[in-house]
Each structure stands twice: as C-alpha cells, then as structure tokens.
Amino acid sequence: MEKTKNKSAFLTKTLEIFKKIGRGIKIFFTKMYSNKKSAIGFSIILLYVIVAIVGPLLFPYDSTVNTANKYLAPSLEHPFGTDWMGLDVFRQVISGTSSVLQVAFFTAFLSIALGTVLGILSGYVGGWVDRVIMTIVNIFLSVPSFPVYLMMAALFTIETPITMALMISIFSWAGLCRAIRVQVISLKESDFIQICRVMNMSTGHIIFKEIMPNLFSYIAVNFVLILRGSILASVGIMLVGLASYNPTDWGVIIQAARMRGLMNVNNVIIMLYPLVAILIFQIAALMLSQGLDETINPRLKVL
C-alpha cells in the first residue's frame, strides 16, 4: 500500500518536473519566435540538425567508384550531379553535414563549459586565482591559433570529430572566459549580489541561482558564435589538406575539388555546394546570435 503511494508520489513528482521542463521549452520557443532574426536563424540551424540526423538514413552515402558516370548533370537521381569518381555530390554533402555539425557542437559544449567555469572562478574568487587564469587566457589569445591548429593536426592523428573538437576548443574558450570574467566582476559589485552576501547566502547559491541566470543570455549568444567559429576552423584545417578523416566533410570536398583543378567548371560547381551550405549556416548562426542578443539581453531592451 505504502509502496504504491510512494510510487504515485514519485510519478507526480516526475510529471511535475516534466511539466516544468515543458514550460521552459515553451518559453524558450515563444522567446525565440518573438524576434524575426532569431526565428529565421533558429529554424535554419534546426533544419541543418535534422538533415544531419535524418539525412544519412534517407540518402545513405555510397562510396563505390563508378567512373562511367563521372560529372553527370543534376538529375532526379543525382540532385547535385556526380563528381570525378561518379559519386553522388548530394549524398556527400548530406553525409558531411553530420560530420561538420558534430565537430561544431562538441567544440561549443567543451569551450562553453571550460570558459564559463574558469571565467566565473576567475571573476568571483579574484586574487591570485584570477591572475593565474588571466595569464593563461592571455597566452591563448596571443598565440596565433590557426598555425598551431595545423601543427597539432599534423603532429597528432585526428580521426574523430571529438579529437577535432578538443583541439579547436583549446583556443576558443579563452575569449569567452575573459568576457565572462568581466561580466561576473560587474555583477559581483551590483547591489543584489551585495545584499545576498550580507544575508549570508552560500557561495554556491549566489553563483548558481543569482549569477548564472544573468549570464545565461550571454552564454547562449556565445554558444552560437563558437558554433560558427568552430565550423570555420575545422573546414579551414581540412582546406589545407590536413585531418581529412572523413571523405564527405565539407572542407574535404572543397579541398578535393580544389586539388582537381578549378579550371574545370564541373569542379567549381561541386565545390560550390558545400561552400553555399557553410555560408547559409554562417548567416543563420549570425542572425540567431543577434536575435538572441536582442530578445534575452535585458540591457539592450532598456536602450
């Protein structure tokens, strides 16, 4: 008897949690769609994610070389035509979407985690902790990132999206960390945090319940920006011909077409598909970040 009661209590509790999450998601979507920019940007990025997940199931990539149908014109069977080995370009681009997005999302999660934790630590604790973290941040901001990426890509074998993401996030957390630190320092001096301190609230409560919600908009915007930056970095590394672990990654497709010779119009057309895909993603991410900035940044609203 008691067990079932416990069970039902447990059930109602979980239901409540789900309702809370549902409400959160609903608020998230209404906020997202209240601004035109963020609505468009978010929809496009969602489309990319769906293509990355569902696309390879519907249009599996087939890597059997068939030189008989090389450079076919676009048709129903091959919407983007075929390349110099007779491979379908449409399927390549779709298969590359998941590869590119995996790197982007892993990088964004990793660098947001690192940047936020260290930024809050540095800003809130201050003193020598702050000085040490800021010195490390300064190094990563002053060493040119791209040559070091190339060096690392050449020295370590990069074969999975996760290792690629790890490598890119080594440099992309530093700017975020510095920005978060500045925010935390200005928040720390604000009245409501001072009151919390006077009321003897625990540090954990102040950080997670008072400071974090204020940083949320900032982190969300930066998440999108790092998404952008990591795609640029990973495609750039592959464009040089390094770390081409996945033959269908956009950067690898572009590089392969470039190596085949851009005098040939067919290669230029093959190169343009992933290029346009990258550009649309970039524009969408930029719109989403600007829209997010406008909707959830309370300071911009006042102005």
Partner 1 sequence: MEEKTWNEEAKRPSAFKRAGRAVLRFFKKNEYIFSKIGFSLLTLALTTIFLFFLLRQIPGDIVDIYAQQLQYSRGLPYERAYELAVQLLNYNPNENIFAAFFRYVGGLLRGELGESYLQEGVSANLLIEQRLPWTLFISSVALFISFFLGVAIGGYVAQRRNGIANKIASGYIAVTGAIPDYLMALLMVTLFAYQLKIFPSQNNFDIFTVTPGFNIDFILNVLYHAALPILSSAIIQTGYWIMQMRGSCIGILGSDYIFSARARGLSERTIRKKYMNKNALLPLVASFGVAFGGLFGGSVLLESIFNYPGIGLEITARITSKDYVVVQGLVFFSAAMIIIVNLIVDLIYPLIDPRVKRG
Which residues sit at the interface with partner 1, rule CB under 8 A? 135-136, 138-139, 142-144, 146-148, 150-152, 154-156, 232, 236, 239-242, 254, 258, 262-263, 265, 268, 271, 275, 278-279, 282-283, 286-287
* Closer of 211 and 295 to partner 1 (Cβ): 295
Locate 108 and state its tokens: 């964004």
Q: How far is the CB of 268 from partner 1 (least distance, A)?
A: 5
* Closer of 53 and 276 to partner 1 (Cβ): 276
* Closer of 45 and 206 to partner 1 (Cβ): 45
Concatenating the DSSP letter of every residue in the chain gives: -HHHHHHHHHHHHHHHHHHHHHHHHHHHHHHHHHSHHHHHHHHHHHHHHHHHHHHHHHS-------GGGTTPPP-SSSTT-B-TTS-BHHHHHHHHHHHHHHHHHHHHHHHHHHHHHHHHHHHHH-HHHHHHHHHHHHHHHHS-HHHHHHHHHHHS---SHHHHHHHHHHHHHHHHHHHHHHHHHHHHTSHHHHHHHHTT--HHHIIIIIIHHHHHHHHHHHHHHHHHHHHHHHHHHHHTT-----TTSHHHHHHHHHHH-TTSHHHHHHHHHHHHHHHHHHHHHHHHHHHHHHHH-HHHHH-
Burial class for 69, CB neighbours closer than 10 Å (0-12, 13-18, 19+): middle
Q: How far is the CB of 242 from partner 1 (least distance, A)?
A: 7
Spatial CA neighbour of 33 closest among 301, 226, 288, 302: 288
Q: How far is the CB of 207 from partner 1 (least distance, A)?
A: 28
* Closer of 206 and 233 to partner 1 (Cβ): 233
* Closer of 211 and 250 to partner 1 (Cβ): 250
* Closer of 206 and 235 to partner 1 (Cβ): 235
Q: How far is the CB of 34 from partner 1 (least distance, A)?
A: 20
Task: State the CB neighbour count (10 A cutoff) for residue 58.
Answer: 9
Spatial CA neighbour of 300 closest among 44, 35, 29: 35
Q: How far is the CB of 155 from partner 1 (least distance, A)?
A: 5
Torsions phi, psi of 82, nearest 5? -125, 165
Q: How far is the CB of 40 from partner 1 (least distance, A)?
A: 12
Q: How far is the CB of 224 from partner 1 (least distance, A)?
A: 12
Q: How far is the CB of 156 from partner 1 (least distance, A)?
A: 7
* Closer of 101 and 211 to partner 1 (Cβ): 101
* Closer of 110 and 288 to partner 1 (Cβ): 288
